[in-house]
Amino acid sequence: MDGNEILLRYGCNPHQTTARIFSRDGKLPIRVLGGKPGYINLLDALNSWQLVAELRSSLNLPAAASFKHVSPAGAAVGIPLTREMKKCYFVDDMELSPLANAYARARGADRLSSFGDWAALSEPVDVPTAKLLRREVSDGVIAPGFEPGVLDILKEKKKGGYSVIEIDPAHRAPDIERREVFGIVFEQRRNSILLTADTLSNVVTKEKSFPDDAVRDLLVAQIALKYTQSNSVCFALGGQVIGVGAGQQSRIHCTRLAASKADRWFLRQHPRVIGLAFKEGIGRPGRDNAIDQYLETNLTPAEQFLWQENFVNEPERLTADEKREWLTLMRGVSLASDAFFPFRDNIDRAQQSGVEFIVQPGGSVRDGAVIEACNEYGMIMAMSGIRLFHH
């Protein structure tokens, strides 16, 4: 690999000019094959790699993540996309490998947040995935290898400046991890807990049996939370994250944020949205922004002009009633929370966005009220006993 040190241009901000990563115990397990990744890039890379490696190990499927500011905007496993989902994710003109399907899903969870993302892939990058990366606005990628021809494709991004990192998949971190804050060293045992279907064994609701798809989605959501800045709540469906509420001080705000992103994800699949006709030359980020503004309820006149100028003809807006009617079709959603629900309001909000399956640690003095709310809605909820805070 690259030795035991990589010098960086700067740290979190340009004025933090002295920055590097290094290993005290031998060589670094990563090798920079292209570009000049920065401090935050590398934080994203190392967190996202752990996420996709765990998804791959848990579900035995290729996995991908789209990271921004040390939290996943999306994560997924490589389940084939439907024709409608391909259109929704702007990949209907491409042939997709299982790995490319995983990244298209990860990127498609929240395309606005994924703008300028860091991509993580559990498998050696193949040509279809490289072609997908080439056309998206992305800062870099980490993977355990790169198939022939892939590096040439990725070098076409950013005039050769696209960051490409190869990681040794055999690397294992020490059991004890350390960090320094304000000149003081913190030390703890790594969060090396393995999240498996056993985390769903303690079902506390009247309804008891999780469908196989829900087991998969609850594992996707839990593993994503393990590498999401807390407090956090994650919605998943179809083998992918569809909404993350990260870094909120209040649990209900986590749930509202994740639910609103899941709603927006599903609204993008409305036939009228998929059928929007864009003017020639409107790029993928421009289309993402225009769709987001098209779905927004309250726009200023200036914002209204901006989204209208992207389309061939002014499209008919979805009414509030049409949005509500469409969202009633979103069912079978799985939800994971990185800590217990202190009030039932989280369940009430989750139900409005199609949640039917839940896993959370439990341990609140109001667990009974939360269980009662789940029973009212016919949900299935497991209490894992595992808190997944990540800071």
- Provide the annotated active-site residues: 68-69, 231, 391
Distance of CA 278 to the CA centre of its chain: 27
Residue 246 and residue 51: Cα distance in Å, rounded? Answer: 16
Cβ atoms of residues 65 and 52 within 8 Å: yes
* Residue 384, both tokens: 């894992």
Query: Can you point out the beta strands (E) in 95-162?
Result: 117-121, 138-143
- The secondary structure of 157-219, three-state, reads HHHHCCEEEEECCCCCCCCEEEEEECCEEEEEECCCCCCCHHHHCCECCCCCCCCHHHHHHHH
Cβ atoms of residues 379 and 358 within 8 Å: yes
The SS3 of residue 126 is coil
Residue 311 and residue 325: Cα distance in Å, rounded? Answer: 25
Give strand pairing partners of 366.
Answer: none
Residue recorded with tokens 């991890």: 177
Cβ atoms of residues 117 and 107 within 8 Å: yes
Closest Cα to residue 336, out of 313, 355, 311, 320? 355
Query: Can you point out the beta strands (E) in the chain?
Result: 5-7, 20-22, 30-34, 63-68, 71-77, 117-121, 138-143, 163-167, 176-181, 184-189, 232-237, 240-246, 333-337, 355-360, 380-383
The SS3 of residue 283 is coil
Residue 240 and residue 236: Cα distance in Å, rounded? Answer: 5
